[in-house]
């Protein structure tokens, strides 16, 4: 029922962009998977707070105290949004990339890491200082669990191990069987971190329910564009690790030694990994987005988004030259992220035309998931351009893809315009 599923308003609904064919059209932002537009509510909350913000954890003045309270309240709000356990820690970071790099630095020295080759580079690459096992792309969710189980069964059972997995693919939008993967990890004594960059904006994420050890996501994909992200989960490895950044805020006590050096006692709380002045507006904005999504109601948001997913998939299915990319097949549950290629078209030219002729913003390329996109396209790595914008002549096999993505606040008109333009 579309009247029940009224979209949450986002910024930029009235932005007019010029067309090469003359005239203007309102911009259709269909690149939510890269950065979603801010919710109007987030913007309003930030604007109301902006005159009052001050330094966090330091100042004696009223506004510093207010900001410290708001920052720590934001931490509690986001922890509640993620359904954290009481003993979990929540660290504010810059992004998902930052969060996963932080965790990579906090792993015990002999930790073995297991990661599917299908991950976004933010999940694929931070573990290089450890023993990493890259797992082949599965073709069903069941195969993903079996592949992980096999790999874990072969591992050294005594050492620590971490599995890193995405909740929803930034290429296919397909949901991964997180709960089953977490159960497999735990059954083999491993821990698991969930990359929720593409899941959290589209689905409720409960650490408790999914039984994952950590979760990471980015504010700018969750309708809160202020350079902030989150790593939340088990405190023990975070507490035992050297601080991610050394500096003020992370250090509790610093003293000169007799030999001329310096001794440091680091905090054991989340502050240990938050050295420097924190991004208080960013944290506040994430908390505002969490509240807005919760109040709008996930059932409503998911139903609305699934209506858009079905509209786009049905529209694309009617165009014979279009091939939608999928790892798990047509029936797999998915979020509003859909990648495709068009026979006879270079994807970069195609995406440029959607922008120039129709005012539609999508993305083209390999989406920072090079191994996955190559698997889906069946192309040879040697023929790829470095950043996913290779020059294929029209008529040749696509070397990259086009991605359309959407979520809260996307009006029907945007996806209808998109389907019309592709047709």
Using the rule CB under 6 A, give the single segment among 110-118, 191-199, 279-287, 382-390 that binds ligand PMP. Answer: 191-199
Of 346-405, which residues contact ligand PMP (CB under 6 A)?
Answer: 368
Q: In the complex, what is the shortest distance from the CB of residue 170 to ligand PMP, in angstroms, rounded to a whole number?
A: 3
- Of 83, 412, 46, residue with least CA distance to 223: 46
Please report, as residue ranges, which positions from 212 to 231 form the binding site for ligand PMP (by CB under 6 A): 218
Catalytic residue check, 368: yes
Toward ligand PMP, which CB reaches closer, 35 or 55?
Answer: 35
Q: Binding residue for ligand PMP (CB under 6 A) from 89, 101, 198, 346?
A: 198
Q: Which two tokens stand for residue 151?
A: 């790999």
The DSSP result for 299-366, as a single string, is HHHHHHHHHHHHHHHHHHHT-TTEEE--SS-TTS-B-SEEEEEETT--HHHHHHHHHHHH-EE-EEE-
Q: How far is the CB of 394 from ligand PMP (least distance, A)?
A: 28
170 binds ligand PMP (CB under 6 A): yes
Q: How far is residue 86's CA from residue 232's CA, in Å, rounded to a whole number? A: 11
The reply to whether 91 sits near ligand PMP by the rule CB under 6 A is: no
Report d(CA 103, CA 213) in Å as an integer. Answer: 11
Which listed residue (45, 174, 195, 274) binds ligand PMP by CB under 6 A?
A: 195
Question: Is 197 near ligand PMP (CB under 6 A)?
Answer: yes
174 binds ligand PMP (CB under 6 A): no
Rounded CA-CA distance 380/398 in Å is: 11
CA separation for the pair 82, 17 (Å, rounded)? 37
**CA–CA dist 206, 194 (Å, integer):** 11
* 122 is an interface residue for ligand PMP by CB under 6 A: yes
Least distance in Å: CB of 196 to ligand PMP? 8
Nearest-CA neighbor of 190 among 137, 89, 112? Answer: 112
- Binding-site size for ligand PMP (CB under 6 A) equals 14
Q: Which one from 5, 111, 290, 368 is the annotated catalytic residue? A: 368
Kindly tell me the number of DSSP H helices and DSSP E strands found in the chain: 13, 17
Q: Report the interface residues with ligand PMP, using CB under 6 A.
A: 33, 95-97, 120, 122-123, 166, 170, 195, 197-198, 218, 368
Return the active site residues: 368
């Amino acid at each position: 029922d579309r009247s029940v599923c009224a979209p949450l308003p986002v910024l930029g609904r009235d932005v007019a962009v010029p067309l090469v064919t003359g005239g203007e059209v309102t911009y259709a932002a269909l690149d939510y998977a890269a950065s979603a537009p801010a919710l109007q509510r987030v913007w309003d909350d930030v604007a109301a707070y902006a005159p009052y913000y001050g330094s966090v954890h330091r100042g004696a003045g009223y506004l510093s105290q207010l900001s410290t309270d708001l920052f720590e309240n934001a931490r509690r709000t986001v922890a509640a949004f993620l359904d954290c356990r009481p003993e979990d820690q929540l660290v504010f970071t810059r992004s998902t990339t930052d969060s996963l790099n932080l965790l990579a630095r906090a792993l015990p020295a002999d930790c073995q890491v297991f990661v599917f080759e299908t991950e976004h580079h933010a999940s694929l690459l931070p573990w290089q200082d450890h023993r990493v096992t890259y797992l082949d792309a599965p073709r069903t969710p069941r195969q993903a669990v079996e592949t992980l189980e096999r790999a874990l069964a072969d591992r050294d059972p005594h050492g620590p191990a971490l599995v890193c997995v995405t909740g929803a693919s930034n290429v296919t939008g397909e949901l991964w069987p997180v709960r089953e993967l977490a159960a497999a990890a735990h059954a083999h004594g491993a821990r698991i971190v969930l990359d929720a960059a593409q899941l959290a904006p589209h689905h409720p994420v409960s650490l408790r329910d999914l039984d994952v050890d950590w979760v990471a996501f980015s504010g700018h994909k969750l309708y809160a564009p202020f350079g902030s992200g989150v790593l939340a989960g088990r405190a023990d490895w975070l507490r035992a690790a050297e601080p991610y950044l050394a500096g003020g805020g992370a250090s509790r006590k610093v003293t000169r030694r007799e030999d001329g050096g310096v001794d440091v006692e680091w905090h054991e709380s989340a502050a240990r990994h938050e050295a420097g002045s924190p991004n208080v507006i960013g944290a506040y904005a994430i908390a505002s987005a969490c509240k807005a999504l919760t109040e709008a109601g996930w059932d409503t948001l998911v139903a609305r988004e699934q209506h858009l997913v079905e509209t786009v998939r049905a529209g694309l299915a009617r165009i014979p030259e279009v091939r939608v990319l999928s790892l798990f097949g047509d029936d797999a549950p998915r979020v509003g992220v859909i990648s495709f290629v068009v026979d006879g078209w270079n994807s970069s030219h195609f995406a440029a035309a959607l922008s120039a002729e129709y005012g539609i913003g999508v993305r083209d390329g390999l989406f920072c998931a090079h191994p996955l996109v190559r698997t889906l396209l069946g192309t040879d790595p040697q023929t790829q351009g470095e950043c996913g914008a290779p020059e294929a002549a029209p008529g040749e096999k696509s070397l990259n893809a086009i991605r359309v993505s959407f979520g809260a606040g996307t009006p029907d008109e945007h996806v209808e315009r998109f389907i019309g333009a592709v047709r």
